[in-house]
Amino acid sequence: MKTFEIPTYYRSSFISTIKNLRKEIDPRKKDFTPTILDFGAVQFLIARHFGFCYGVENAIEIAYKAVAENPNKTIYLLSQMIHNPIVNEDLESKGIKFIMDTQGNQFVPWADLTKDDIVIIPAFGTTLEIEERLAKIGIETHKYNTTCPFVERVWKQSKKLGDTKHTIIIHGKHNHEETRATFSHSDKNGASLIIKDIKEAKILEEIILGIKSEEDFKSVFENRYSKGFNVKTDLQKIGVVNQTTMLATETQEIADFLKETMVKKYGLENQKEHFADTRDTLCYATNDNQQATIGLLKESADLAIIIGGYNSSNTSHIVELCEEKLPSYFINSANEIESEESIFHFNFRTNERLNSKGFLPSKNPLKIILTSGASCPDTIVDEVLDKILSYYPNTLSKDEVLKKLQ
C-alpha cells in the first residue's frame, strides 16, 4: 500500500510498532483479535485496526502539499478536511481558511473568491453544484481534490443503478457532507432517496406496498428525495448504496429487508427485475475498524475508550458497538481526561458533552479497550494511553511492553 507524506507529529513510534508487528504476523487481516499491552496494574486491549486510513492520509498529504506549493496564495478548504479537530486546527494555523462548516453554513461568501485562489475539496467530496460554482469563478479544483476513492466508488455504483433505471436508495445521514455529495451525484443519474436506518426502511416498505400514502412519503422523507420523485413509478426498481462510514451490518439489514419487500410486492420469480444486488459500498477501513471492534468485544474488559472527532460518523459507530457491551467513553483527546476520577466524554446521540466520575474502577489488573476512528492521529491515541498510565505507579515502561510482544 502507498506510503503518504504526512507531518511526523501525527505519527507515533509506539503505536506504529504495534501496528507493524500485527501486519507481519497477519498481513491479510484475517485475525481481528486485539493486541494486549500488559503494563501490570493496567492492561490495554488495542484494536487490530484503527486510526488513519488510506483516504485520510491521502487527504492530509494533499492539503499540506497545497500549503507548501502556494506560499503567496489564499488557500481555502470547502469545509473540514476530515472530522478531527486536531487536524483541522493545524490546517487553520497554516493559514487555510474554511469556506463553510460541516452543515453547509457559509463562512466565506462565494463572491470573495477569485480565480487565483486555491480551493481544496475535502475527503468527503462535494456536490456537483459547488463544483460548477467554483468552475464559473475560474478555480481549478482537480489538483487539490482529496475526495476519498471509496466515496467515488459509491458514486460509480450509483451511476450503474441510474443507468439501469433503478432508484438509488442511499443509507446515510442526510446532513453529512459525504451523503450530501453522494446525493448530488446520484441525483444526476437517477431518482434518489436518503434513508437513515432500518426504521425508515420499514416506513419505505409500507409506502412501496401501498399501506402508506404519497403524503406520508413526503412528510417522512422531506428534503431527502429527488425533485419530481414519483412514488408510484420510482419505487418499482431500487438498489442500495451507503455513506461509506455507516454500520456495515445496518446497511446489509436495510438491503436485505428492501429486497424482501420487492419479493412481497412482485414475487420471488420477479425479484431480480425490481431489486439490484449491489456490492457493499462501505470503505475497507470502516469495515476493518468495525470488524476489529467486534474482535475487541469478544474479550473481557472493564471499559472502553474510543477516540475521534465528535462529528466523526465512523467513530460514532465504533462507540455504538462498544456501548452494547460495556461502559464506553467517546473522547477527542487526552485533554478530556480531567483526572483519574473524572472524564469528559461525548454522547453523539444527544450531542452533549458529559462528565463521568469514577470512570476507572478499582480492579487489578484493570482492562481497558482502546481504539480510535479513521480520522484520529496515532499520536492522540498515544497521549490518551500515557494519561491513563500516569495514574498507575510502578507500571512497566513502553519499551518493556513492546519487548514482550516481539
How many Cα neighbours within 13 Å face the side chain of 134?
21
What SS3 class is residue 15?
helix
Q: Active site includes 178?
A: yes
Residue 324, C-beta contacts closer than 8 angstroms, at least 6 positions apart: 297
* Backbone phi and psi for residue 134, each to the nearest 5 degrees, phi listed first: -65, -35
Whether the CB-CB separation of 149 and 107 falls below 8 Å is answered with: no
Q: 33, 44, 49, 26: which is closest to 402 by C-alpha?
A: 44
CA distance 119 to 174: 24
Whether the CB-CB separation of 319 and 313 falls below 8 Å is answered with: no
DSSP H helices, 209-283, are: 214-220, 248-266, 271-274
Return the beta strands (E) in 67-184 as ranges: 75-77, 97-98, 118-120, 167-171
Task: Dig out the grid coordinates for 223 from the structure.
Answer: 428534503
Q: 321, 327, 302, 301: which is closest to 373 by C-alpha?
A: 321
- Among candidate residues 57, 131, 178, 205, the one labeled active-site is 178
Compute and round to an integer the Cα radius of gyration of the chain: 23
* Backbone phi and psi for residue 92, each to the nearest 5 degrees, phi listed first: -60, -40
* Residue 68 Rama label (left phi>0; alpha psi -120 to 50; beta): alpha
CA distance 112 to 89: 22
What SS3 class is residue 248?
helix
Burial grade of 103 (CB within 10 A; 0-12, 13-18, 19 or more): exposed
* Helix H or strand E segment including 338: strand 337-339
Catalytic residue numbers, as ranges: 178
